[in-house]
């Protein structure tokens, strides 16, 4: 009896709910922490970035218009799906980051918990950063946070899974759509996460995952006029500076890279970074002779 | 400009003498090789048009757009806005060329005429009970005369698909000649076949020849109101027809694909079809048009991308 042939996985991009190869047809070799070959990942071009932005823009209306409660359910579903593929991610993260099985399992558990954490925030963030404002007039004055739009996310280079989810989940929890540039050295957990997102009721286009050279993909994203914000977590100092200059042209919101311990409880800063505040004035009613309408 | 009528001595002059002679001629046209046609259209769609050639193609495509609004909800304000956009498609870049025309319903012609006055942008009007074409001939002709009297430079008529599919070709022919007469000398006539309703490529070839024999200045694929509109294959077929018609008669007829062309990439593919099939003579907005509305915004975004190197977005073009 002959040995069974191994079935190698073709890692692909995730754009608009589909899994295309790179438009350029290019791939690059991904190795584990010790330099052994793991797989070929797509080497995205600027046209893949453009297509991803189009998909993210198309998905924005429905995702930002969905109720916060519904978004929470969808994000919780992502955690459920991840739980079912835990072993795969433990293996991939161990390979990517050179961790032992038990350390890697702890990272994957923390990542799943992070999805649950952000799933809980979707319908609570408005109470925390919005609310009624006291004003000197017969008006209700209400502020509510609204998503910024299409957010380009450069995922952290070192923390290929926990770091990725820690920057992606806050973006989509509040109703933005995202174009994610995966860690250049270890993109495989991000590309596998796309398969989880595709099967967890996250509408196509809400998250788009690109792999390749961060600088090559991020440059057109930073200057793209239809991208509303960019998270530079995965850019080094020099690249971050160039991208921030390019992003200034259409006044993108820019989140500069900062040292983060992704194992810590994150706080709400990453959510509020990509929210805008809308304030409305509503008359309380006509004033009577007494100066009050009541 | 070549003459637009067959001389009395031309052998094709007599094919419309009777219903049977017209049928004999149209059914005598060679059958269309559907697989070959689609294959040819697809292979021409793979040409790579980049940098300066792309910039040229985009500007050419903009100058060929018949900027169209054909909705029941059209208001004078919307038509005026469309006119302003046709004259100056990109207010942030005055080097962008004007479109060829605006295309509106007959009652909006005066408004459109005023909106584009003095710019060289033409006003096209659909007529003959667009889009169904199901009205008595008297009504259709009155529709055309009104539009021409209001100043329309071009009339887009629909053929009677019911009569065509029933094989009453002479009725269709007579209707086109009557409308052509109603257009007079001032308005060019575009004949819409609604290719999506003609079911076969053979029918599209027959309709093209029928329209050209009856005196169409332009043949146009569709109204944009049915499921299947302009496709590369049916436009290629019509381009072959105008090429062959000119070879036989010396008369040049224009082509206008309409509906379903939404991206610059699609538009450039159509321009490749024109160049490779009919030839350079048709690469001019006097002989080739795009019936479209959302296409213009995509062309403008691509134009901005070429000019600045940055991808543009829908925030930087008008919402129509």
Which chain B residues have a beta carbon less than 8 Å from that of A57?
Answer: 313-314
Give B10's pLDDT tier (boundaries 50, 70, 90): confident
Average of per-residue pLDDT across A116-124: 97
Residue B1: pLDDT above 50? no
Average of per-residue pLDDT across A180-195: 97
Within a domain: residue B222?
yes
Within a domain: residue B177?
yes
The pLDDT score that the predictor gives to residue B11 is 77
> Are B313 and A225 in contact (CB < 8 Å)?
yes
Which chain A residues have a beta carbon less than 8 Å from that of B309?
Answer: 223
The pLDDT score that the predictor gives to residue B320 is 77
Average of per-residue pLDDT across B133-147: 95
B44 Cα to chain A: minimum distance (Å): 19
> Are B313 and A57 in contact (CB < 8 Å)?
yes
Average of per-residue pLDDT across A50-78: 97
Within a domain: residue B286?
yes
Mutate to test the interface with A, among B308, B313, B314, B319 (most CBs of A within 10 A): B313
Average of per-residue pLDDT across A198-220: 97
DSSP string, B106-163: GGGHHHHHHHTTTS--EEEEEESSTTT--S-HHHHHHHHHHHHHTT-SEEEEE--HHH
B221 within 8 A of B237, measured Cβ to Cβ: no
Residue B89: pLDDT above 50? yes
Interface check A225 vs B, CB under 8 A = yes
Going by C-beta distance under 8 Å and a sequence separation of 6 or more, which residues neighbour residue A219? A46, A242, A243, A246
Count how many domains chain B has.
1
Query: Long-range contacts of range A239-248, CB-CB < 8 Å, 24 or more positions apart?
Result: A239/A214, A239/A215, A243/A218, A243/A219, A246/A219, A246/A222, A247/A222, A247/A223
The pLDDT score that the predictor gives to residue B14 is 86
Within a domain: residue B243?
yes
Q: Is there a cis peptide before residue B131, judged by omega within 30 degrees of 0?
A: yes
Is the torsion defined by CA of A91, A157, A257, A12 positive or negative?
A: negative
Which chain A residues have a beta carbon less than 8 Å from that of B310?
Answer: 220, 223-225, 249
Within a domain: residue B4?
no
Query: pLDDT tens, B19-67?
Result: 999 999 999 999 999 999 999 999 999 999 999 999 999 999 999 999 9
List beta partners, residue A179. A152, A208
Q: Determine whether B156 is an active site residue.
A: yes
Q: What CATH number corresponds to the domain at position B107?
A: 3.20.20.70
Within a domain: residue A16?
no
Residue B3: pLDDT above 60? no
Which chain B residues have a beta carbon less than 8 Å from that of A220?
Answer: 310-311
A185 Cα to chain B: minimum distance (Å): 27
Distance of CA A126 to the CA centre of its chain: 19
The pLDDT score that the predictor gives to residue B239 is 97
Average of per-residue pLDDT across A39-52: 97
Query: pLDDT tens, B203-218?
Result: 999 999 999 999 999 9
B296 Cα to chain A: minimum distance (Å): 17
Give A173's pLDDT tier (boundaries 50, 70, 90): very high
Kindly report the average pLDDT of chain A as a whole number: 95
In three-state secondary structure terms, A281 is strand
Residue range(s) defining the domain that contains residue B71? 20-309
A131 within 8 A of A149, measured Cβ to Cβ: no
Q: What CATH number corresponds to the domain at position A249?
A: 3.40.605.10
Residue B4: pLDDT above 70? no
Query: pLDDT tens, A80-100?
Result: 999 999 999 999 999 999 999
Q: What percent of chain B has pLDDT over 90?
A: 92
Mutate to test the interface with A, among B310, B316, B319 (most CBs of A within 10 A): B310
- Residues 248-287 (A) with a CB less than 8 A from some CB of B: 249
Within a domain: residue B315?
no
Strand order in the sheet with B218-220: B254-256, B218-220, B188-192, B154-158, B122-127, B101-104, B65-68, B290-292
Within a domain: residue B10?
no
Catalytic residue (choose from B54, B220, B269, B298): B220
Residue A267: pLDDT above 80? yes
Within a domain: residue A104?
yes
Query: pLDDT tens, B171-183?
Result: 999 999 999 999 9
Which chain A residues have a beta carbon less than 8 Å from that of B311?
Answer: 50, 53, 220, 223-226
Mutate to test the interface with B, among A54, A225, A247, A252 (most CBs of B within 10 A): A225
> Are B310 and A50 in contact (CB < 8 Å)?
no
DSSP string, B146-212: HHHHTT-SEEEEE--HHHHHTT-HHHHHHHHHHHHHHHTTTSEEEEE--GGGS-SHHHHHHHHHHHH
User: Which tokens belong to B258?
Assistant: 């309409």
Query: pLDDT tens, B98-135?
Result: 999 999 999 999 999 999 999 999 999 999 999 999 99
The pLDDT score that the predictor gives to residue A276 is 96
> Are A225 and B309 in contact (CB < 8 Å)?
no
Question: What interface predicted TM-score (ipTM) does this complex get?
Answer: 0.83
Residue range(s) defining the domain that contains residue A45? 38-283
Count how many domains chain A has.
1
Give B72's pLDDT tier (boundaries 50, 70, 90): very high
């Amino acid at each position: 009896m002959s040995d069974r042939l191994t079935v190698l996985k073709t890692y692909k991009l995730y754009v608009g709910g589909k899994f295309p190869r790179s438009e350029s047809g290019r791939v690059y070799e991904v190795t584990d922490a010790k330099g052994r070959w793991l797989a070929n990942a797509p080497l995205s071009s600027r046209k893949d970035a453009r297509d991803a932005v189009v998909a993210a823009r198309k998905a924005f209306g429905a995702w930002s218009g969905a109720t916060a409660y519904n978004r929470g359910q969808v994000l919780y579903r992502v955690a459920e799906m991840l739980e079912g593929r835990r072993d795969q991610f433990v293996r991939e993260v161990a390979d990517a980051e050179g961790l032992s099985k038990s350390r890697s399992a702890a990272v994957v558990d923390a990542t799943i918990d992070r999805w649950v954490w952000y799933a809980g925030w979707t319908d609570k963030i408005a109470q925390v950063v919005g609310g009624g404002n006291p004003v000197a007039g017969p008006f209700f004055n209400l502020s509510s946070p609204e998503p910024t739009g299409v957010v380009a996310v450069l995922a952290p280079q070192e923390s290929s899974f926990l770091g990725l989810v820690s920057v992606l989940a806050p973006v989509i929890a509040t109703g933005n759509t995202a174009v994610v540039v995966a860690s250049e050295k270890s993109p495989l957990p991000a590309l596998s996460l796309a398969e989880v997102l595709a099967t967890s009721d996250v509408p196509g286009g809400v998250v788009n995952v690109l792999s390749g050279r961060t600088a090559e993909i991020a440059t057109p994203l930073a200057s793209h006029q239809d991208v509303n914000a960019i998270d530079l977590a995965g850019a080094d100092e020099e690249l971050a500076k160039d991208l921030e200059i390019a992003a200034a042209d259409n006044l993108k919101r820019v989140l500069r890279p900062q040292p983060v311990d992704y194992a810590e409880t994150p706080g709400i800063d990453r959510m509020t970074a990509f929210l805008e505040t809308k304030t409305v004035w509503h008359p309380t009613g006509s004033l009577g002779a007494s100066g009050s309408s009541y | 400009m070549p003459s637009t009528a067959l001389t009395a001595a031309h052998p094709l002059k007599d094919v419309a003498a009777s219903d049977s002679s017209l049928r004999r001629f149209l059914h005598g046209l060679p059958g269309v090789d559907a697989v070959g046609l689609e294959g040819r259209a697809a292979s021409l769609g793979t040409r790579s048009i980049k940098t300066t050639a792309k910039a040229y193609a985009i500007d050419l495509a903009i100058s060929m757009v018949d900027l169209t609004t054909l909705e029941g909800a059209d208001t004078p304000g919307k038509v005026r806005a469309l006119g302003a956009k046709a004259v100056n498609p990109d207010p942030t870049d005055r080097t962008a060329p004007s479109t060829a025309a605006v295309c509106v319903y007959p009652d909006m012609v005066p408004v459109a005429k005023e909106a584009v006055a003095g710019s060289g942008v033409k006003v096209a009007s659909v007529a003959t009970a667009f889009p169904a074409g199901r009205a008595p001939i008297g009504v259709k002709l009155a529709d055309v005369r009104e539009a021409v009297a209001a100043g329309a430079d071009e009339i887009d008529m629909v053929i009677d698909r019911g009569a065509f599919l029933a094989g009453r070709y002479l009725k269709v022919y007579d209707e086109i000649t009557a409308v052509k007469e109603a257009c007079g000398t001032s308005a060019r006539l575009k004949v819409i076949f609604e290719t999506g309703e003609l079911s076969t490529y053979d029918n599209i070839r027959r309709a093209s020849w029928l329209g050209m024999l009856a005196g169409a200045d332009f043949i146009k694929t569709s109204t944009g109101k049915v499921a299947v509109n302009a496709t590369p294959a049916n436009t290629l077929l019509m381009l072959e027809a105008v090429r062959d018609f000119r070879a036989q008669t010396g008369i040049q007829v224009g082509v206008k694909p309409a509906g379903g062309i939404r991206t610059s990439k699609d538009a450039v593919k159509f321009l490749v079809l024109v160049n490779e099939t009919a030839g350079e003579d048709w690469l001019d907005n006097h002989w080739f048009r795009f019936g479209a509305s959302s296409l213009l915004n995509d062309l403008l975004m691509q134009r901005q991308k070429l000019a600045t190197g940055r991808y543009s977005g829908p925030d930087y073009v008008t919402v129509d």
